[in-house]
């Protein structure tokens, strides 16, 4: 029964400060028995996508890099799986929003590049990130089979399904999502409800655990709403963090529930794979 830890944190002005702070959080989580530890989206930097500024591409690093080397050493030292979210420079003028997975022996198992890229006021991500081309990898870690998706990916049932069909028992979503002051009073509660509900639905539809780890604090005009959570295969919230405090959210995952659920609710058995061809079209008309 692996113990999962979600590191809900604020942003920091420098990568050095952010890494030092998160190293402390990782060590604290491991001391509490955590075996799979997950950072929020772009944990090394402020959420720079608030504006379009070419100079901010300087925040990116190639992968592997010093940070991934340090995370690997930390994972090996503590015997934990670490899932981290980084700003990757893949090549000249080519950048991705990328999650990296280190196994409990310190090996970097691979990376997932964010596939769905949003473009909204305060979330100018199409300016910075190229859509990912890593397919839908699932990693068999020491403590379970995990699939990692990133923020805007969490709205797409196709992405969750493909990870589950690859064998994922746990879906992990590093996230940076929040309210704009012009919208919060009228739409804030509905926006948060939609975000949480759609992901709980992914847990049910795929019979797996799902965990989202979000930021807290205000950056620019965006108030990140925190409320990181873990949902079980029935979509029940089994752990949830606050809306405004840094937290290490810990929950033990009984992975036996995944197989038990999938036997009782055989959604994979009853899928009409012969009838879904139109899903690869943009629109059916």
Residue tagged active-site, from 10, 41, 49, 223: 41
Tokens 């809900």 sit on residue: 8
The pair phi, psi for residue 236, each rounded to 5°, is -75, 140
Catalytic residue among 49, 88, 125, 151: 151
Q: How far is CA 277 from CA 145, 269, 273, in A?
A: 28, 18, 8
DSSP string, 24-76: HHHHHHHHTT-SEEEEPTTTTS--GGGS--GGGGGG-B-SS-HHHHHHHHHHH
Burial of 169 (0-12, 13-18, 19+ CB in 10 A): buried
Catalytic-residue membership of 114 = yes
Q: Are the C-beta atoms of residues 102 and 108 closer than 8 Å to each other? A: yes
Q: Which of 10, 114, 125, 223 is catalytic?
A: 114
Does residue 69 contact residue 138 with C-beta atoms inside 8 Å?
A: no
Closest C-alpha to 125, from 147, 95, 148, 100: 95
Cα distance from N-terminal residue to C-terminal residue, the chain:
47
Structure-block tokens of residue 231: 């949902």
Contact 26, 9 (CB under 8 A): no
| C-alpha triplet 15, 19, 21: angle, nearest 5° | 120
Q: What is the DSSP letter of 184?
A: H
Q: Which residues are the active-site residues?
A: 41, 114, 151
């Amino acid at each position: 029964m692996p113990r999962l830890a979600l590191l809900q944190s604020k942003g920091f002005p420098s990568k050095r400060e952010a890494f030092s702070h998160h190293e402390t959080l990782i060590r604290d989580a491991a001391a509490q028995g955590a075996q799979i530890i997950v950072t929020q989206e772009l944990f090394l930097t402020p959420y720079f996508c608030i504006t379009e500024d070419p100079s901010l591409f300087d925040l990116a690093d190639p992968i592997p890099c010093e940070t991934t080397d340090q995370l690997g050493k930390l994972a090996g030292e503590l015997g934990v799986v670490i899932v981290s979210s980084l700003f990757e420079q893949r090549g000249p003028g080519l950048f991705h929003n990328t999650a990296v997975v280190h196994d409990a022996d310190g090996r970097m198992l691979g990376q997932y590049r964010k596939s769905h890229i949003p473009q909204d006021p305060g979330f100018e991500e199409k300016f910075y990130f190229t859509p990912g081309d890593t397919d839908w990898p699932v990693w068999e870690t020491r403590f379970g089979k995990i699939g990692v998706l990133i923020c805007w990916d969490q709205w797409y049932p196709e992405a969750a399904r493909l990870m589950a069909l690859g064998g994922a028992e746990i879906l992990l979503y590093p996230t940076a999502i929040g309210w704009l002051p012009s919208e919060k009073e009228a739409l804030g509660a509905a926006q948060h409800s939609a975000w949480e509900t759609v992901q709980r639905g992914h847990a049910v539809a795929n019979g797996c655990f799902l965990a989202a780890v979000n930021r807290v604090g205000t950056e620019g005009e965006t108030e990140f709403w925190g409320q990181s959570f873990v949902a079980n295969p029935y979509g029940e919230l089994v752990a949830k963090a606050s809306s405004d405090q840094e937290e290490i959210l810990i929950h033990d995952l009984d992975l036996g529930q995944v197989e038990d659920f999938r036997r009782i609710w055989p959604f994979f058995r009853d899928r009409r794979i012969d009838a879904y061809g139109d899903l690869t079209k943009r629109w059916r008309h």
